[in-house]
Amino acid sequence: MKVKMEVDIGGLKLQNPVLTASGTFGSGQEYLPFIDLNRLGGVVVKGLTLLPKAGNPPPRLIETPSGLLNAIGLQNPGVDYFIENILPELTSYQTKFIVNISGNTPEEYGVLAQKLSVPGVAALEVNISCPNVKAGGLVFGTDPDLVAEVISVVKGHTNLPVIAKLSPNVTDIQEIARAAEEAGADAISLINTLLGMAIDVETRKPVLGNIVGGLSGPAIKPIALRMVWQVAQAVKIPIIGMGGIVSAQDALEFILAGANAIAIGTGNFINPRVTMEVIAGLEEYCQKTKTEDISHLVGLANPLKMR
Ligand SMILES: Cc1cc2nc3c(=O)[nH]c(=O)nc-3n(C[C@H](O)[C@H](O)[C@H](O)COP(=O)(O)O)c2cc1C
């Protein structure tokens, strides 16, 4: 039986629902020795900012039980360098490239969206887990009004599908998701990393140069799954679920909770072929359960999912 694996995420058409998560996969080419990029549903490129960023002082990464703490600090070469030097190399692949953007102000997000509305970019993922310099460093993603402002500015500067990437570091994820939807987001992705830290008992100091960092990997999967479940009950737009996915079974849990597509981040560090294995595993599950279209599984475990 031929299984339909294609999905439409708010106008972003993917050949299958498996993406890579921003910041864990470079721009995709770094993984060429391990996988066939053309088989991926899509690649979400490392977060870009208007100007190049050197990132945080080291150490920037530390392993925790079943997880990874990172404080990279959005190190990247800047949007202009990406457009001139990296994007042209990506156009030869069949997969879709989604660009993740981070701004210091709503206006910066607008400029980034405009600059990136060029051939080769399939959609924009708006990372709202960034401090708003104009609002005293308040993280955009923690305030529904700021989320709405950023998303509407981005929508006003592009015709590409706009994906709002939510931060899990909030009390009410449904309120934030609704704000993004009402402001015109075409899809929602979640979750970004959870704020955490580690302390070295020898030096008696925090391990990370930045003191705090973002926790990712299998340790956060139950939280991510719960949030996808809740957001699926709050919005009608498609959802890209992520957080700790390392197997087809994990991916299926997110789909059954209400995700239309999934992304794999830290899992790539454990097994660089994980995306290929998850695509094959999802297809196999559909065949075994006589599911003709993978989208028929979306939200099956979530009776209150908005349709
Ligand atoms: C090293 C690293 C860098 C990341 N950089 C970004 C980034 O630039 N922009 C972003 O929106 N999310 C970034 N993330 C968050 C991931 O895209 C993803 O949301 C999170 O890690 C949860 O998925 P996972 O458990 O599969 O890694 C980063 C995560 C890691 C581990």
User: What pLDDT, on the 0 to 100 scale, is given for residue 84?
Assistant: 98
User: What pLDDT, on the 0 to 100 scale, is given for residue 26?
Assistant: 94
Domains and CATH numbers, the chain: 7-56+72-197+217-297 (3.20.20.70)
Nearest partner of 282 among 253, 257, 307, judged by Cα? 253
User: What pLDDT, on the 0 to 100 scale, is given for residue 33?
Assistant: 95
User: What pLDDT, on the 0 to 100 scale, is given for residue 5?
Assistant: 98
**Does the bond joining 294 to the residue before it have cis omega, within 30 degrees of 0?**
no
The one catalytic residue among 130, 219, 228, 231: 130
User: What pLDDT, on the 0 to 100 scale, is given for residue 307?
Assistant: 81
Region 112-119 average pLDDT: 98
User: Which residue has the least CA distance to atom 12 on ligand 1?
Assistant: 22
Residue 187 and residue 36 in contact, taking contact as beta carbons nearer than 8 Å: no
User: Which residue has the least CA distance to atom 6 on ligand 1?
Assistant: 23
Region 74-91 average pLDDT: 97
- Does the pLDDT value for residue 56 go beyond 80? yes
User: Which residue has the least CA distance to atom 4 on ligand 1?
Assistant: 23
Regarding pTM above 0.95, the answer is yes
Nearest partner of 120 among 142, 99, 145, judged by Cα? 99
Alpha-carbon span 264 to 241, nearest angstrom: 9
- Does the pLDDT value for residue 245 go beyond 90? yes
130 is catalytic: yes
Assign 133 a pLDDT band (cuts: 50, 70, 90).
Answer: confident
- Does the pLDDT value for residue 135 go beyond 80? no
User: What pLDDT, on the 0 to 100 scale, is given for residue 260?
Assistant: 98
Alpha-carbon span 155 to 180, nearest angstrom: 11
Residue to substitute in 43, 56, 126, 193 for testing ligand 1 pocket (most ligand atoms within 8 angstroms of CB): 193
In 10 A of CB 224, how many CB atoms? 25
Q: Which atom of ligand 1 is nearest to the CA of 218?
A: 25
244 lines ligand 1 (CB under 6 A): yes
User: What pLDDT, on the 0 to 100 scale, is given for residue 130?
Assistant: 86
167 lines ligand 1 (CB under 6 A): no
- Does the pLDDT value for residue 196 go beyond 80? yes
70 lines ligand 1 (CB under 6 A): yes
Q: Which atom of ligand 1 is nearest to the CA of 129?
A: 11
Q: Which atom of ligand 1 is nearest to the CA of 221?
A: 25
Portion of the chain with pLDDT greater than 70, in percent: 100
pLDDT digits (tens, 9 = 90+) for 270-301: 999 999 999 999 999 999 999 999 999 999 99
Alpha-carbon span 258 to 260, nearest angstrom: 6
User: What pLDDT, on the 0 to 100 scale, is given for residue 131?
Assistant: 83
Residue 167 and residue 191 in contact, taking contact as beta carbons nearer than 8 Å: yes
